[in-house]
Structure 1
């Protein structure tokens, strides 16, 4: 069972093939991509507050930054946008306008 803020098996299945470090990719195979992807989802205000079960926060941050530079996160989000199931939608508060 997934812990709070961690991806469910269904959610993980949707993005697993989009991530680098698979056995079929050239180069080294990533160690536990699922745990790594769960780390930024945890909801910490600071990387250093991340629980130890995700690994050293500096290592996780460095990998996260590398993936961002390579466009991995962009590719995942683009795929999820194209193939959304519309179970729920999230909006950012910056687009919400309220009358006085």
Structure 2
């Protein structure tokens, strides 16, 4: 069984789900228009506005520290990450 309470406490997971819900809504609306269920049609202007709004919201969340390093428990960097002079290269081999 899925423990939804734990998932909703993970801010990165919540942001990913919100992004996916926007994509799902777009796909459903485009499909509904294609088969004639609705007259609503996404224009490039609407798509651009929605993308700009979502980017702005996530940009503010990232600036506030809501979007954080998933490898740490809190909002701060780990001691190891703060001491890096350059990224580790051995993890990509």
TM-score between both structures, scaled by the size of structure 1: 0.33
Tell me which structure has the larger Cα radius of gyration: 2
By relative contact order (CA 8 Å, sep 6+), the higher-ranking structure is: 1
TM-score between both structures, scaled by the size of structure 2: 0.35
